[in-house]
Structure 1
């Protein structure tokens, strides 16, 4: 399906709180590629903005806390998805992948919490 048509369908579905599911790995790969390209396009802008704004540890803190909050919410959502997959007896490979994602997500939130604490510790050794 062409990108513009898929985008319109996805946008319309999102307005109603729906999410599309893709039964074909080709469609999934296309979406993954699109997500990656979009993220990397935006990353250059974020890096330039962060360089200008993040002049000390406290300037870094709000972004770290925001990212941790979003990631924690997503990890807890995925934990629910994992529970549902287990309860419904879905494929063991899918369950294993979800377990890995949830475990990694929790580890990431711990690292981000440590980073947030470091911003408040007043450690300015890098300056």
Structure 2
């Protein structure tokens, strides 16, 4: 099945709250590779656009704030998944991986918040 067709099917399904689960690590690996390749392809021009747009510290701030908000929302979603996995007694190795992802996500939100604060501090110090 083509990427476009699968993407449309998955987008439609997600609107109804349906998600597909993959039973085979080969399928998961293929999906992860495809996801990575698609994202890098879509972001290919990002560096040039960001260079043109982000000409001072305050110009960086809104984008970093947006990313932090999305990461925080995703981490809180993963926390819910983790709680559900624990409550259902799912395999310990899955719970451990979820804990790692949640911890890393929280660390990332802290780093992003520090970056946002730095944009304001650098701007203030420069004026």
TM over 0.5: yes
CA distance in 2 between counterparts of 1:4 and 1:118 reads 40
Q: Which residue of 2 aligns with 1:16?
A: 16
Q: What is the TM-score with the length of structure 2 in the denominator?
A: 0.90
Q: Which residue of 2 aligns with 1:109?
A: 109
Q: Which residue of 1 aligns with 2:34?
A: 34
**Structure 2 unmatched runs, 5+:** none
Q: What is the TM-score with the length of structure 1 in the denominator?
A: 0.90
Query: Could you tell me how far 1:11 is from its partner in structure 2?
Result: 2.6
Query: Could you tell me how far 1:5 is from its partner in structure 2?
Result: 4.5
Indicate whether 1:86 and 2:104 are aligned: no
Equivalent runs, 1:32-111 vs 2, <5 Å: 32-111=32-111
Indicate whether 1:121 and 2:121 are aligned: yes
Query: Could you tell me how far 1:48 is from its partner in structure 2?
Result: 1.0
CA distance in 1 between counterparts of 2:97 and 2:30 reads 20
Aligned pairs, number:
125
